[in-house]
């Protein structure tokens, strides 16, 4: 089996950080960080929109960037539901 070699005859090594497109990786990591912050802190309604925006921007990436974006958006959505559930439960709809 032949491997792809660069001009010096060496087999290039791809580091995990290079596996993601450079522009989308930062958005994906920001989405996860904002999503986790929205769950563990009291800033759910502040951090969650950032997680959604960064996640949507990172969704155009592939592989790990897409997975991280979806994870951050899931955490943000869960935080919003957890925060709004008591509010909705106390509203009298009659």
Residue spans of the domains in the chain: they are 22-89
Element (H or E) spanning 23, and its range? helix 22-40
Query: What span, in angstroms and rounded, lies between the C-alpha atoms of 78 and 43?
Result: 13
Number of C-beta neighbours around residue 11 at 10 A: 8
What is the pTM assigned to this prediction?
A: 0.69
What are the pLDDT digits (tens) for 64-73?
A: 889 999 999 9
pLDDT at 23 over 70: no
Task: Provide the pLDDT confidence category of residue 85 given band limits of 50, 70 and 90.
Answer: confident
Locate 15 and state its tokens. Answer: 């580091």
What are the pLDDT digits (tens) for 33-65?
A: 999 998 888 777 888 999 999 999 998 877 888
């Amino acid at each position: 089996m032949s491997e792809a070699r660069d001009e010096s005859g060496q087999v290039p090594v791809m580091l995990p950080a290079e596996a993601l497109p450079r522009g989308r990786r930062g958005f994906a990591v920001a989405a996860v960080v904002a999503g986790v912050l929205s769950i563990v802190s009291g800033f759910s309604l502040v951090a969650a929109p950032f997680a959604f925006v960064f996640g949507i921007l990172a969704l155009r990436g592939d592989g790990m960037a897409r997975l991280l974006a979806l994870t951050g958006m899931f955490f943000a959505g869960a935080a919003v539901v957890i925060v709004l559930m008591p509010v909705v439960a106390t509203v009298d709809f009659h």
